[in-house]
Structure formats: structure tokens, C-alpha cells
Amino acid sequence: MTWMNRLRELGGAATTHQLRMAGATAEDLKRAVRSGAVDRVRRGVYISPLLDGAGLDAVRAGARLSCVSACASYGLWAGSGRRTHVTLSPQSRRAPPGLVCHWWPVEAHPELWRVSLADCLRSVARCGDEETAVAAFDTALAAGHVSPSGLRRILEGTPKAARDRAALARPGSDSGVESVVRQRLERHGRRVEQQVHVRGVGRVDMRIDGELYLEIDGYAFHGDARAFERDRLRDAALAELGHRRLRVSARQVVEDWQRVETAIDRIVERQRPQ
């Protein structure tokens, strides 16, 4: 492995020591900086053009992405907030402007631009609101990054409120939006089953109170014509079996939840005998 490969492996940011350990010489680094292949952003810290956005902001500030910003980098649910969250060394006394800063101690991690996955989950448990934290946990479970018991172990030693949030996490949410829907419906007393297999149809995202089948289309759904046709066939198959069904988009859940919840309530209540 060349030192440039090592820099890419680390996500585009590395210390001089990390690069020297991968075979880079002082002259290699000087030559790479002169050619624009890498940039020296701080003393002893080099980045590649691959690193941009929030990760670059964190490295320039001498920090690491944490909380919801780290969640986004790991492909987990990160909520709808746009501010960048970072963790600074407990010895750092200056808060970089424009960033949400945390000073929690973190475990050793080779990537300079973000905290470890475990510290990512710890920080969102502490900093995020309950719904966002649980959705982050749910997506970590769905992706196979952690098991329910592993999540509990990661959160040992965190405040009780953070550990209580882990108890609300469930496997079965293929997306953060599905987790958000599950949480909101369960808070209002609905019984939610996820990834329910229906013969002749396949897996359906949710079954609510044993009566209504709910499907949630992702943000990119309408860009896939084949997915559109496939899901219309699934809707038709559910109808042929006599099942109540509702299809909503992720955007509707995030931006117009009240209307979605009202539709669910009306369909479920209409199904029940008077």
C-alpha cells in the first residue's frame, strides 16, 4: 500500500506520522503539496481533495465530526438539522465559529475527520433529540453496524437518559424515516409491525394495528421508473387480497406529518366495526 492509498483509506485526512508509517518521506510530502495532490491544512496534518464539506471544516478546526454530523458520514439517520457538530479535545478551549462543539472524551480512532462509530452513537444519544437518536440507532441496527446488545454495551457509562434511548431502538427500519414513523405511531398508542411478509406481495414496510399496510417511498423514489411500476403492482396485489393500504413519501413524513397521521387514523378507524 502506498502512502497515498493510506490517505484515501483514512477518508482523506492523516497526520505526518500516519503517512510516514505508510512510507512517505518528507520530500514526498513536500512534492505532493507543491503539485496540489495534497494540502497541508495544519501543522502535521495533510488532506486530499477527496475531503470536503463538513469533514474538511472539522479538520481545519482541529476537531472531528460527531453527533448527527458523524451519523450522516456513517450512512445513519441524521435528522433534518444542517449545523455541523464536532468534538474537540478536552484540552481545547476555543470553540470554532459556526460549529456545534462538544468536549466529550473519545476513544482512539485513526480517522482525523470523524469520531469512531461507537463515539458517534454515544454522542447522538447525548446530544440529539430522542426521535433522532433512536432513528440513528435503528439505522445502525438495520445496516448491521451494531447489535442490540452491542448498542447497550457502547452506551454503558453514558447518562441514564442516553441509555434509555437505546431501549427504544428496534431492528426493522430500512431507513431513518421508517424509524421516525414507527416512533410517532407507537407514542400515540398504535401497534406497529415492521417488514411484514405478505404472500404474493413480499415485504411491506409496516402493518399498523394489524389492519393497515403502510409503504414509505424514499427521497429518490420518483427517479426510478422501474421502482415506480413495481410498487404500483405491489399496491394492486394488496388491493386484490382485500388489504387496506397507504403509500406515502419520505418528504411527506418529514414535511407534512400531521396530514399523514390523520390519513392513517381515518383509515384504521374506518376499518373497525362501529
pLDDT at 222: 45
Beta strands in the chain (DSSP E): 13-15, 39-42, 45-47, 64-65, 85-87, 100-102, 192-198, 202-208, 212-217, 244-249
Q: What's the chain's average pLDDT?
A: 90
Query: What is the extent of the structural domain holding 41?
Result: 1-51
Say if residue 19's pLDDT is above 50.
yes
Position 114 in a domain: no
The answer as to whether 225 is a domain residue is yes
pLDDT, average across residues 43-53: 93
Domain-located, residue 25: yes
- At residue 230, the pLDDT reads 67
Q: What is the pTM of this model?
A: 0.89
Q: Would you give the DSSP letter of residue 263?
A: H
**End position of a domain, from candidates 36, 51, 66:** 51
CATH of the domain at 229: 3.40.960.10
Model confidence pLDDT, tens digit, residues 165-196? 999 999 999 899 999 999 999 999 999 999 99
Distance CA 68, CA 83 (A): 9
Amino acid letter at 259? R
Q: Tell me whether residue 223 is in a domain.
A: yes
Q: What percent of the chain has pLDDT over 90?
A: 75
% of the chain surpassing 70 pLDDT:
92
What are 72-88's pLDDT values in tens digits? 999 999 998 889 999 99
Question: 157: how many CB neighbours lie within 10 A of its CB?
Answer: 9
Q: Which uninterrupted H or E stretch holds 230? A: helix 225-240
pLDDT digits (tens, 9 = 90+) for 94-139: 878 889 999 988 999 999 999 999 999 999 999 999 999 999 999 9
| Bigger pLDDT: 103 vs 270 | 103
- Number of domains, the chain: 2
CATH number of residue 20's parent domain: 1.10.10
Res. 212: pLDDT tops 60:
yes
Are 186 and 259 contacting, i.e. CB atoms less than 8 angstroms apart?
A: no
Per-residue confidence (pLDDT) for residue 226, from 0 to 100? 65
Residue 244 placed within a domain: yes
Strand order in the sheet with 64-65: 64-65, 85-87, 100-102
Residue 137 lies in a domain: no
126 is a domain residue: no
Confidence tier at 273 by pLDDT (50, 70, 90): low
Order of all β-strands in the sheet with 39-42: 13-15, 45-47, 39-42
Q: Specify the pLDDT at position 232.
A: 66
210 domain residue, yes or no = yes
